[in-house]
């Protein structure tokens, strides 16, 4: 069996002899349970499931069966899912009648903590979902960031980076959740404290398709400008005609474009470049659009 990757070291390491303010309980032997008798955990951190990925998993289950059992808790004549809701959903699509499961005897607090840790360990969660799971585990199980880092086998700086994402402006968090920008982009944007400027940087990252490195440089310049008591220029501060002009210029230039307007109504347009090679690229782009 391949070594599990991701944020954690496995539920066994966390809920074995170690304690995090919750009582660990032994795992029973695996049993086959009715798919129809399983119910989703309403407090589980994961909220969205990619339908295409579920269909692909269902196809795999039809061919190979369900290799990894889910984990459940008996609840009346039903089984409340602790971990493996995605596998259970795919099993439903594959028309399975029964599903292999580990049945645990756990209280509500332990149940919720296990669901949180299981989600933190997953690789297919976006960074915001992981950060939210970490936050809930810290708050609801009384952990410090140091304690959480120890339990999931990661450095405290990694935990801190995830938690910083939750302080981002809502549009930036949404961009991370939808995969529009990466965690690296978000980490760079998080260096900016002002929500309005964060959204401005986000727009620039998306429009200019900036890499993480370019985003870091762009943010660095914005912060340097702020430290000189000069408000960084943002597109939304100008009339619509200014925004349209920038959009036209960005067809030719991927570099930073800024417009500075004076009180008299004049101003200047600045197009940054890093080397002579950039100038040659500008000329080449212009030649392709000559009439």
Catalytic residue numbers read 85
205: Cβ contacts below 8 Å, ≥ 6 apart:
181, 185, 189, 215, 218
3-state class of 291 per DSSP? coil
- Which pLDDT tens digits describe the chain residue by residue (291 residues)? 333 333 333 434 433 333 333 333 444 567 899 999 999 887 665 667 788 889 999 999 998 888 888 888 888 899 998 888 889 999 999 999 999 998 887 766 566 666 666 666 665 678 888 888 788 778 767 778 888 787 766 788 888 899 999 899 999 999 998 889 999 999 999 988 888 889 999 999 999 999 999 999 999 888 887 666 544 444 445 566 766 676 667 666 655 677 777 767 677 877 777 677 777 777 776 666 554
Residues 90 and 52: beta-carbon distance below 8 Å: no
The sign of the CA dihedral 95, 98, 104, 106 is: positive
> Rounded to an integer, what distance in angstroms lies between the CA atom of residue 270 and that of residue 253?
11
- What are the structure tokens assigned to 89, written together? 């959903």
| Nearest-angstrom CA–CA distance, 15 and 25 | 8
Burial, 144: exposed, middle or buried (Cβ in 10 Å; 0-12, 13-18, 19+)? exposed
**CA gap 103, 79 in Å, rounded:** 8
The correct CATH number of 11-165 out of 3.90.1530.30, 3.40.50.1000, 3.30.70.100, 3.30.830.10 is: 3.90.1530.30
Residue owning tokens 């890093």: 274
In the chain, domain spans: 11-165, 169-236, 238-291
């Amino acid at each position: 069996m391949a070594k599990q990757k991701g944020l954690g070291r496995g539920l066994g390491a966390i809920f074995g002899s170690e304690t995090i303010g919750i009582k660990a309980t032994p795992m029973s032997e695996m049993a086959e349970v009715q798919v129809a008798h399983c119910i989703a955990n309403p407090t589980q951190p994961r909220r969205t499931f990619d339908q295409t990925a579920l269909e692909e998993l269902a196809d795999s289950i039809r061919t190979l069966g369900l290799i990894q059992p889910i984990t459940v808790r008996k609840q009346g004549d039903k089984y409340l899912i602790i971990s493996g809701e995605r596998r259970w959903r795919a099993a439903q699509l594959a028309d399975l009648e029964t599903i292999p499961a580990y049945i645990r005897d756990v209280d509500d607090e332990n149940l919720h903590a296990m669901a949180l840790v299981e989600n933190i360990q997953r690789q297919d969660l976006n960074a915001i979902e992981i950060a939210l799971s970490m936050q809930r585990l810290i708050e609801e199980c009384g952990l410090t960031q140091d304690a959480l880092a120890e339990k999931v086998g990661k450095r405290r700086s990694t935990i801190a980076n995830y938690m910083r994402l939750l302080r981002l402006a809502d549009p930036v968090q949404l961009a991370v959740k939808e995969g529009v920008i990466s965690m690296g982009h978000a980490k760079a944007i998080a260096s900016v404290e002002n929500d309005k400027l964060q959204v401005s940087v986000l727009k620039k990252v998306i429009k200019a398709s900036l890499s993480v490195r370019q985003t870091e440089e762009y943010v660095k310049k914005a912060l340097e400008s702020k430290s000189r008591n000069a408000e960084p220029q943002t597109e939304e501060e100008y009339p619509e005609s200014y925004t349209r002009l920038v959009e036209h210029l960005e067809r030719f230039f991927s570099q930073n474009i800024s417009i500075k307007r004076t009180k008299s109504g004049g101003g200047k347009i600045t197009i940054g470049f890093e080397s002579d090679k950039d100038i040659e690229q500008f000329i080449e782009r212009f030649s392709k659009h000559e009439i």
